[in-house]
Amino acid sequence: MDGLWRYGAVMTHTWDEVSEATDALIETIETLPEGAQFEPSLCAGWTRGHVITHVARNAEGIGNLITWAVTGVETPMYPSLEVRNAAIEAGAGRSMKSLRDDVRNASTWLGLGARSLSPKDDATELIMGDSTPGRASDLATRRLREVTFHHVDLLAGYGFADAPAEHVAYFLAREITTLAARSDAPPMILRTTDGVDYVVGDIEVAGDQTAYISGSRAALLGWLARGLTDGVTCDSPLPQLP
């Protein structure tokens, strides 16, 4: 299957990109009227207030990992999952102004901390919030993903198509890489509107049971990451994602 994409390239994002994505998120938050914090988000069980609070606490958590990388002193993202969840729940019902200011202040603090990073800090292995190992050079990309995906989750007029195209392409490749690594991934070929094919599952064994799914990179990312089907077409019913 020459020309088919199978594995994503490694890419390191910059803190300037994180800052730009954060500014866009804050601009969206500023458009939300008082009361909008109680409306649902794309994250099951979370309101917009939960999502915004999580983005702020995530900034602090990644800041803790920066401290760990720079000092060598183990500093987990969160004291525990329970503490993390309780902080999100406690902050979700605040005023829109408080939520906006929280994200702005926490993100500013994170950006200042990121300036202290240097290449030598990659010598320290960190434990990320999902309990996987990582390095300081991974942190900007992780934060960019949080800000971009949760911006979409606010259901406030911002979609993946509004994100920079290079970010969408990268995150789509990451989603596909993660899915393709699963033994229960359905066999399918995803084709972008500009003609790039991505392979998931054992399509040689599946044969004519392989699903052919098409859409823009943004639409495909929306489906894989959030179950959104706008702009996604398939020659059969869309496969059930694990």
* Residues 38-61, mean pLDDT to the nearest whole number: 98
Boundaries of domain holding 206: 164-234
Q: What is the pLDDT of residue 212?
A: 94
Minimum mean pLDDT range among 105-109, 154-158, 168-172, 235-239: 235-239
Is residue 239 included in any domain, yes or no?
no
pLDDT of residue 98: 98
Mark which of 135, 158, 181 sits at the end of a domain.
158
Q: Are residues 22 and 50 in the same domain?
A: yes
Q: How confident is the model at residue 3 (pLDDT cuts 50, 70, 90)?
A: very low
Which run of H or of E encompasses 24? Answer: helix 15-31
Statement to judge: residues 29 and 98 lie in one domain: yes
The answer to whether residue 5 is domain-embedded is: no
Enumerate the β-bridge partners of residue 190. 198, 213
My answer on whether 21 and 56 are in the same domain is yes
* Domain at 190, CATH number: 3.30.1050.20
Q: Let me know if residue 180 belongs to a domain.
A: yes
Domain termination residue (choose one: 158, 191, 225): 158
Claim to verify: residue 94 and residue 190 sit in the same structural domain: no
Of 158, 191, 212, the position where a domain reaches its end is: 158
**Number of Cα atoms under 13 Å in the Cβ half of residue 180:** 18
Q: Would residue 3 count as lying in a domain?
A: no
At 149, which CATH number?
Answer: 1.20.120.450
Regarding whether 137 and 171 lie in a shared domain, the answer is no
The whole-number pLDDT of residue 205 equals 67
Q: What is the pLDDT of residue 130?
A: 84
Same domain, 172 and 92: no
Tokens found for residue 173: 């490749």
Nearest to 10 by CA among 195, 173, 140, 209: 173
Same domain flag for 44 and 69: yes
Q: Do 42 and 113 belong together in one domain?
A: yes
Model confidence at 4: pLDDT above 70? no
Task: Clarify whether residues 196 and 113 are in a common domain.
Answer: no
Tell me the per-residue pLDDT of 200-217, one tens digit each, with 9 for 90 and over.
987 776 677 899 999 999
Q: What are phi and psi of 17, to 5 degrees?
A: -65, -40
Convert the pLDDT of each residue in 128-151 to its tens digit: 988 899 999 999 999 999 999 999
pTM of the full predicted structure?
Answer: 0.92
Residues 110 and 150 in one domain: yes
**Alpha carbons 162 and 117: distance in angstroms, whole number:** 30
Note the pLDDT of residue 209: 82
Is-contact 208 200, C-beta < 8 A?
no
Looking at the structure of the chain, the number of domains it has is 2
pLDDT-based confidence at 9, cuts 50/70/90?
A: very low
Number of Cα atoms under 13 Å in the Cβ half of residue 224: 29
